[in-house]
A and B are shown apart, each in its own frame.
Chain A
Amino acid sequence: MGFILVQFLTGLASASSLFLVAAGLTVIFGVTRVVNFAHGSLYMLGAYLGWTILSALPRDPAWFALGVVLTGAGVAAIGMTIETTLLRRIYKAPELLQLLATFGVVLIVQDVVLKVWGPDDLTLPRPRWMRAFVTIADQRVPVYDLLTIAIGPLMLLGLWLLFTRTRWGTLVRAATQDREMVAALGVDQRRLFTAVFALGAGLAGIGGALALPDGSANGQMDLTVITDAFVVVVVGGLGSLPGAFLASLTIALLQAFGIVLFPKITLVLVFIVMAVVLVLRPNGLLGRPLAAARGDANTPALVRAAVPALRWLGAAVLLLAALAPLFAGPFALSVLTEMAIAMLFAASLHAMMGPGGMVSFGHAAWFGLGAYGAAFAVKGLALSMPAALIIAPAGAALAALLFGGFVVRLSGVYLAMLTLAFAQIVWAIMFQAVSVTGGDNGILGVWPAAWATDPRTYYWLTLAICTAGVLLLRRILYAPFGYALRAARDSETRAAAIGLNAAWLRLAALVMAGAAAGLAGGLTAFAKGSVFPGYVSIGRSVDALLMVLLGGVQSMAGPVAGALVYTGLFDILLMVTDLWRLVLGLSIVALVLIFPQGIAGTVHRLWLRGREA
């Protein structure tokens, strides 16, 4: 009995910590609709900055509290800088471009933290009061846990009062409901957004500083915390603070008791919770359906086929690519092979999120299933490489078909997060089923068939398959099916009125995208000679998202351009500089500012400006 009580208290303390981070994220999303990928970075900055500040202060509780507040203010100032210099310039860009920008910030912050604070984990010495405990039912419970338990609900109460009992809070809530209306009534939205972003950043900073007594400031905490925070926000219902609190409680308590019963469940528990909640409650525990933002960027223009000049350019690039083995060395070919595969992978995601209107945060699931499918086919079933390259897309498509039914009922970020949950569950299986998949050591020796071992042959094969795949996707999306899909995206009601079944259309698009991504995964398995759980990881999903957003969602050439630029940039930077994260992050930020519609979108717009005037 005593144990259960203590474990319950421990769970409550973890819930409070989770809520602190998630609260900032949900506030920012609710008002600005920015999917702030850099929230984990703000948390990490809170830990490092908190370490610097708290190390300099006396160790009494009052000074500690002051130090935490100062840290919060410092991180809020950083958040304000990010908002005013970067995000403010791209609110008018298509949704999710902000995600790309904040990802650039993540990379920049990683290198800045390494340069400023060094590579070692930093720990704050704990004075006696932080190490104190009380004995409850013969078990020790840390006093700091009890403090943390109190801070969570207090923070919830404070935020609730702020949002419901102040004029500022009322305006923020109004902006959450209808941004344009608030603007029309003469409220300066820009200042409101800046303040909200600073508040969210400050909460993340406080969360980071409060985590110090239980651990360390380290360079991995940004990415560890961001997924959990997203899960909490989504499970709770986007923008809902009580929802986030409830979700934190649910997840932390399930975790505290789950690890007692099933010690190995740690990798996947939160994602199972998220999947179950989203299947049962498509808008999270306490979320409401999102009111669509009105006007400007969110009603995309009709996608038209490329102008002849662009087609000629594409043909010329393709010709050049086909001739590449005549003058490029083996290493250049391996980069080109990766680029070709990235092109297909990005195009497959684009088919889903552009015309299909389904943003996916877990597109790596299909890529990884394809890669593992190919590896199992050659290593387990002793099949040939061509057979494996058929099994790869087929397997991924089958999984997409089975899982897609749950996905297509949802929309927006909820849909994106359900795909993420599925990808993470697949990842955990690949990671944990060591006897079948080799765990994180992966499956080795998946080299191409003898006739394709020459890098040139394999490159030509890859180029042919990927180009054909991309052109086929393009063909399908310009066929009546593609137009029907876009109709269902732009207005589900009107599409239904003319007899289109939106759910089936989306499911078909998902299966098609899954198959194409699976094929890309299969090709990667042979290009690298091995498969790893990393192929199903969040990082891989984010790569796909970056490529599509960088290139531009609103054109078929976008993902291709994005894939080539991103892969090329990453491969070269990794080779030439230690500070590749900084340079890549700055490049992404610069590209976002220069090409707010994505590379292809902006080029297209400039092209039109000269002609339609």
Chain B
Amino acid sequence: MHLRRRTLLATAATLAAPAIVRAQGDTPIRIGEINSYTAVPAFTLPYRNGWQLAAEHVNAAGGVLGRTIEVVSRDDAGHPPDAIRLAGELINDRKVDLLAGTFLSNIGLAIGDFALQNKKLFVAGEPLTDALVWAKGNRYTYRLRPSTYMQAAMLADDAAKLKAKRWVTVAPNYEYGQSAVKWFKQLLTERQPDVEFVGEQWPALGKIDAGATVSALAELKPDAIYNVTFGADLTNFVRQGNTRGLFDGRGVVSVLTGEPEYLLPLGEETPGGWIVTGYPVDSLTDPANKKFIDAYKAKYNELPKMGSVVGYALINSIVAGIAKAGSADTEKMADAFGGTSFETPFGPALWRGIDHQSTLGTYVGKTALKDGKPAMTDWRYVDGASALPSDAAVAKMRPA
């Protein structure tokens, strides 16, 4: 028993050795990054490419405050307790200056709470839950992506233009799906008071019974459908919906479906005319986007996905905050991040002081098939700042 453990630790030390060697040098600023690399590889592997590219760019340009940056990355296996343990490792053993990353909302919240308890800065990339910056927001936690509320708000304007009366919703049966539906109902009703939500379906995440779900929705004879499913569930839902004609003559509003991660697997089955949030990577030509896309293509030989943008912007947003703080000291950073503007592939964005949400927006457009390939058309960029509630409303939601 005794011997075994020692052998094991020795093996582990050998495996970890390159990281230790790399960690020495002229004291770079260390970012401890945690994400669900094995649990959600479709999003997180392009995301990793994104932050690696950004770190390269930052260091090539001389780093920040005269120091290079170094990202120490960990896989949380999709489990909050493991993420918390690794956050401890990064802070205590790797001596990172701040924490960053995460994909799943529950892990984002857990690390946010850990950051508060340990007084370390945490810059969340992807988790969409509103609680992260509102109900459970804290001094040390910032979040980059447009939240569930913001995604719903961005879609609600276009949804109201459909002038559809009878709506049904379909969403994965967990907190993300529930908030996405709750906000959409509320925001659409504000814009179109006569709207009626006549039914809902709550498939278990990853286990949708697509045929039964589709025919249950069709039976309600809705005018329009609000979809929150994504990934494998979305593929099944779309295929059954196409065969059974669920989408014919009905408006569909769908969260995140325009992101290449979720859109590309739909292939030639991509239904036309869905109103979605996403990333029209193949048709963006403005300088900021083009520069990023070209650099990404040059390095990885493929088009970036939404995850790549998040990874890239995450590092930029952190570097900008550190530059403004003038130091990697936690308290100074926690104060200085609010009000800092930073560059992203989508254009400039800002860390809001009031709730630590960034104003990074996303694209709203319609799904289409272009040369047999899924794409977004009629898109426009919606700035995150325009999709947030009033400051008074935000202040009310955040704990003092």
Task: Report which A residues bind B (CB closer than 8 A).
Answer: 3, 6-7, 10-11, 13-14, 110-111, 114, 119-123, 125-126, 131-133, 139-142, 144-145, 213-216, 218-221, 224, 228, 252, 255-256, 259-260, 263-264, 266-267, 313, 316-317, 329-331, 334-335, 338, 431-432, 434, 438-442, 444-445, 447, 524, 528-530, 532, 534-535, 539, 561, 564-565, 568-569, 571-578, 580-581, 599, 603
Contacts and interface: CB of A to CB of B under 8 A. Distances in A.
Nearest to A539: B79
Interface string B197-228: 00111111011011111011011000000000
Contacts of A575: 12, 16, 74, 86, 89
Contact of A580 (B2, B75, B136): B75
A7 B216 contact: yes
5 A-B pairs with the lowest CB-CB distances in the bound complex, closest first: A119-B41, A215-B236, A10-B211, A256-B212, A121-B265
Contacts of B235: 121, 123, 215-216
A595 to B, nearest CB: 10
Contact of A434 (B1, B37, B75, B178): B178
B175 A142 contact: no
11 contacts: A10-B215, A215-B239, A218-B231, A256-B209, A259-B203, A431-B173, A439-B175, A530-B110, A565-B5, A575-B16, A576-B16
Contact of A220 (B5, B12, B206): B206
Q: How large is the interface on B (under 10, 10 to 19, 20 to 34, 35 or more residues)?
A: 35 or more
B106 A440 contact: yes
B109 A442 contact: yes
A120 B264 contact: yes
Contacts of B109: 441-442, 444, 530
Nearest to A133: B243
Contacts of B206: 220, 224
B12 A572 contact: yes
B27 interface: no
Contacts, number: 229
B301 interface: no
Interface of B: 1-2, 4-5, 8-9, 12, 15-16, 19, 37-38, 41-42, 45, 74-75, 77, 79-82, 84-86, 88-89, 92-93, 105-106, 109-110, 113-114, 117, 129, 131, 136, 173-175, 178, 199-204, 206-207, 209-213, 215-216, 218-219, 231-232, 235-236, 239-240, 242-245, 261, 264-269
Contacts of A214: 210-211, 236, 239-240
Where chain B touches its partner, the secondary structure class is helix
Nearest to A537: B79
B1 A441 contact: no
B114 A574 contact: no
Given A441-B106, A524-B81, A334 B45 contact: no
B213 A264 contact: no
Nearest to B12: A572
Given A440-B174, A444-B113, 12 more contacts: A10-B215, A14-B209, A111-B38, A214-B239, A259-B203, A263-B202, A330-B92, A529-B113, A532-B110, A534-B80, A565-B4, A568-B5
Nearest to A557: B1
B211 A528 contact: no
Contacts of A313: 1-2
Nearest to A213: B239
A574 B15 contact: no
B209 A442 contact: no
B156 to A, nearest CB: 22
A219 B41 CA distance: 9
A532 B106 contact: yes
A295 B321 CA distance: 70
B113 A530 contact: yes
Nearest to B246: A140
A576 B12 contact: yes
A434 B19 CA distance: 41
B114 A529 contact: yes
Nearest to B73: A578
B223 to A, nearest CB: 18
A87 B88 CA distance: 39
Contact of A267 (B84, B175, B204, B239): B204
B38 A578 contact: yes
B136 A529 contact: no
Contacts of B106: 440-442, 532, 534
B202 A581 contact: no
Which of B12, B75, B212, B261 has the most chain A CB atoms closer than 10 A to its own CB? B212
B269 A11 contact: no
A224 to B, nearest CB: 5
A267 B5 contact: no
B15 A576 contact: yes
Given A317-B2, A575-B89, A139 B215 contact: yes
A173 to B, nearest CB: 34
A370 B358 CA distance: 38
Contacts of B105: 440-441
B397 to A, nearest CB: 15
B267 A577 contact: no
A444 B110 contact: yes
A581 B41 CA distance: 13
Residue among B8, B41, B211 having the largest count of chain A Cβ atoms under 10 Å: B211
Q: Which of A120, A439, A571, A575 has the most chain B CB atoms inside 10 A of its CB?
A: A575
B267 A530 contact: no
A142 B240 contact: yes
A214 B239 CA distance: 6
B85 A329 contact: no
Nearest to B17: A576
A445 B267 CA distance: 44
Nearest to B11: A572
Contacts of B267: 123, 125
Nearest to A587: B8
Contact of A263 (B86, B131, B200, B236): B200
Contact of B131 (A119, A215, A224, A441): A441
Contact of A431 (B174, B219, B232): B174
A139 B131 CA distance: 42
A213 B235 CA distance: 10
B232 A216 contact: yes
Given A224-B206, A532-B106, A534-B79, A432 B86 contact: no
A121 to B, nearest CB: 4
B210 A6 contact: no
Nearest to B80: A532
Nearest to B305: A120
Nearest to B81: A528
Contacts of A120: 42, 261, 264-265
Given A123-B265, A329-B93, A568-B5, A574 B75 contact: yes
